[in-house]
Structure 1
């Protein structure tokens, strides 16, 4: 996109806040809850702590939704980032953009995708390189980059109807492949970690080290349904961006909420034959988590953009403004614990032993917020 575009798209504060809400749990929120649960044994906090762990295989927790929610948000942001170019050229949708403009956008999209793949490898420890066979190439950031890129290609070259067709083909095709294509030594339709088609393809084609030796949760085949997750976000973004006197903001929020509930129901139904499974990124998982993503977006949209209650969301907004940076920093690039101990350790030592871990976790969160606030105030953002 040209930074000198004169027409600026209207920005959804709710989308920025939701991105920050999502990232908060990864950067330190989960540790605060875990330590608080141990210190207090309060039933509600203990339940929350249980929800901040991944399921071992089939099933779903809140923590399983964090990654796909971020990808959903990345998809929802694309129609807004494209709006200025579409408006300038006088076309009605992205699929009508001139070929030359599309090629420029493709190059920018590919650069971003490859950058995320590289950054994901850095998070995995690429800078500590200790041999090709010990390097994990698949990553969370890599999946976000690749799924967003291919979903973007679909968005740029198809009407909404065509995008929906692609969405259905991706999910149904993945389901059919996983259930019908036999895996040597296991057969067809085996959805275990070592026997699934997704795991077999990872062992066959994915270079370097796999996350779980026989399987990688960010592997090759399961990137296909992840494209569907990004497309769901794009559907939501296009819907919210649609300008019509017949569609008030309140009405849009309500329909997003209803659509989310419907997708949750469909995902639950599909779970009976194709289990909800984050590690395999099953089609039922895409619908179920996509439904909750729509519900979260609808709630944030109705409260922040429709009702106008914005001040409470500011901490999430500053996290969302540098979400990739804080993710990478929290994954080991910056030792926030050491910094927090240096700044607050003298005070924390006077706290009772039962609450010391809670205070340390809160201190890490404070340090992270200090960094993010400084970056936000000085308009320093990691743009990819």
Structure 2
């Protein structure tokens, strides 16, 4: 069940949906970078005496929390609704992020990071489901890719804020700032964020669905207009049914590989480049170039996916990621910036296109659950990415085999997406 756009009959549009969801995803980008910005200060803070092992444990706990959040809140979204789940997830993440600023010891800091990760983990699948169900192009990729630009904007903004805040105000200030958006965002969501008509129809709430569709300039398609029965109370079980199991496994493998690349490269690219003989300044600049390529790649990938479909685009993007990651093993001078930029264009967009295909290939009654499981399994890849890079560096194989290893990960993502098949969403 889905919705398509038509001119609003009462001057209403879905203008608020995309910006509010975009800001929610921006918080995910904040969370990815914030710990890295405060680690140097944490190592020197008071009586905590944090070892590298303790910091690694805290980092892992946060990612485990996000995995649990994506799996549980993503599933609950198909039961309690997109609107309620997103509001609660943003509020919970923000409160617990603020508590990180006043944590009395490393244990409580790690606990708050774990719990805030659970809240944040539910934001992405819920926001993706909402934006896609209010998008102009149902089954395309531009809604997902545009939403995910918020992720990289959040990452870049957090790094910039760290330069301004940490020295004069201390590491605590970063977590205070990370919690502040909720002061404005949550009230705006309560006031302006609508429930998805597709979700309402999947729950048998036709009258509400038609009222919101009219208010926001949407028309229910023929499949949605039929009297569909309410969704099952255990939507996760549907992902393991014969109709969806093949795609479920393929999507989970592709998502695992996609986020392994995202987190592995963001963590270790500068270090691997130093091992390859590049100067430190150039190595750090390449990380910025990588993420700049990510934003450009997202904008291009969305338009391509709208034309050829997210599945075909995702297959091509994983191939591109593998090719350019492999080419990074070639020692060049200025040309390395071009190669890293192109690698960023393909690596990050490939993962987002997995989400776009997941959304397009599942009906409304299990869409958020499918996205939640895709993101949740992907978070396990996010944990493994830094571990893979670290193991290769410790073994002395980062150059050139680190590039080849990441390229192989891209090829596995390509194979996984190639194994998917079209599934009707009615």
User: Normalization by structure 2: what TM-score?
Assistant: 0.29
User: Normalization by structure 1: what TM-score?
Assistant: 0.32
